[in-house]
Amino acid sequence: MSTAQSSVSASSSTSRSTSSPRVAVVGATGAVGQEFLDVLAQRNFPMSEVRLLASARSAGKSVEFAGKTHTIRELTEESFKGIDLALFSAGGSISKKFAPIASQAGATVVDNSSAFRMTPGIPLVVPEVNPGDLKGIELGKGGIVANPNCSTIIALVAVTPLHRAAGVKRMVVSTYQAASGAGYAAMMELEQQSHEVLRGQAPTCKIFKQQYAFNLFSHNSSMLENGYNEEEMKLVKETHKMWGDATVKIAATCVRVPVMRAHAESITLTLGKALGEDEAREILAKAPGVSIIDDRAHNRFPTPIDASGKDDVYVGRIRQDISQDDGRGLSLFVCGDQLRKGAALNAVQIAELLLK
């Protein structure tokens, strides 16, 4: 276990409540931070206190939450005194600096950035996939839990039930990722560009280096020497970590599409044993966090609009992969809201598992 997980200062005490914790939301003014607040309110997450934290630039702003007006506080090293649970969504550099400080103060951290996902000893968790990895983490006693990347979460909610039934040996994923994955500013730029292009004007390109409206392009994360980008390799490495099996062959192609929110993914699997499409559909229909839209007669399958603002991952186009022999190939199409299940909801669900 890392120092960040295990270190708890003297400020942690037996008076901390794990049934009605004191909660801090770091990055409360961002797109995911706002979604944190919506999810906490909608799920009636029990809290004795909520502390909304952001940069000095946002400090002093007012935010409505749970029927009350709250003032944004500046994030400092003293922000976590008395806090039991800290939900982080302010970027990797902020998490690297402040998450260990929060843990040291006794707060259990659920971090939405990539800062700790592959750190040994820090669990990377999707509650529908590997809740057992939270063993040893106690609310209000420090520790860090990492929230996986949005595309990984959405894929694994759909694929893990099939993996349990038939053993995935190979997974090929193509993602169609919405503006929400790049934050509120990217969503606003997509809206602005759409107006500009329809008026015949040159699009404003500040967030991305090329036109986004009515276009699509390779995901904007950094390219690596192996020809894959960081987003694609996150899906590979995070899946291996959560499944506890690095032998599964995974290849991903991640693409930005001009959709406001909710990612889509085309997934083809090679299974360890034959699995018919009807049986696969039955397995997925019973899986937690999954909804089926699979109406071949009317060509009706999941869309980002179906998933936007929803908690479930939507699955359709469930069919045998005719390029593979012995019934061991399966293909499906998946949509999930990046801001909810791909980020804020998953983090809150982790916190709910830690409640006692």
Please tell me which residue in 163, 219, 263, 335 is annotated as part of the active site: 263
The whole-number pLDDT of residue 308 equals 97
Question: Are residues 174 and 294 part of one domain?
Answer: yes
With beta carbons less than 8 A apart as the criterion, state whether 258 and 270 touch.
Answer: no
Domain assignment present for 198: no
Domain assignment present for 184: no
| Regions of the chain with pLDDT less than 50 | 1-14
Question: Are residues 332 and 265 part of one domain?
Answer: yes
Question: Are residues 114 and 75 part of one domain?
Answer: yes
Domain assignment present for 183: no
Question: Are residues 89 and 236 part of one domain?
Answer: no
pLDDT tens for 77-102 read 999 999 999 999 999 999 999 999 99
Domain assignment present for 199: no
Question: Are residues 266 and 173 part of one domain?
Answer: yes
The whole-number pLDDT of residue 131 equals 97
Domain assignment present for 86: yes
Question: Are residues 157 and 90 part of one domain?
Answer: no
Domain assignment present for 284: yes
The whole-number pLDDT of residue 356 equals 72
Domain assignment present for 209: no
The whole-number pLDDT of residue 9 equals 34
The closest alpha carbon to 185, from 293, 260, 93, belongs to 260
Question: Are residues 286 and 233 part of one domain?
Answer: yes
- The answer to whether residue 254 is catalytic is no
Please tell me which residue in 70, 150, 163, 254 is annotated as part of the active site: 150
pLDDT tens for 3-57 read 334 333 333 344 555 689 999 999 999 889 999 999 999 999 999 999 999 999 9
- The answer to whether residue 150 is catalytic is yes
CATH number at residue 317: 3.30.360.10
Total number of domains in the chain: 2
The whole-number pLDDT of residue 17 equals 59
Question: Are residues 90 and 69 part of one domain?
Answer: yes
Question: Are residues 122 and 253 part of one domain?
Answer: no
The whole-number pLDDT of residue 4 equals 39
Question: Are residues 165 and 87 part of one domain?
Answer: no
CATH number at residue 49: 3.40.50.720
Domain assignment present for 186: no
Q: What are phi and psi of 340, to 5 degrees?
A: -95, -90
The whole-number pLDDT of residue 323 equals 96
| Number of Cβ atoms within 10 Å of the Cβ of 157 | 26
Whole-structure pTM value: 0.92
Q: Please, which residues have CB within 8 angstroms of residue 132's CB and are 6 or more apart in sequence?
A: none
Question: Are residues 156 and 141 part of one domain?
Answer: no
The whole-number pLDDT of residue 293 equals 98
Host domain of residue 328: 151-178+216-338
The whole-number pLDDT of residue 66 equals 85
Question: Are residues 298 and 225 part of one domain?
Answer: yes
The closest alpha carbon to 182, from 235, 253, 256, belongs to 256
Kindly state the tokens that stand for 15. Answer: 């008076």
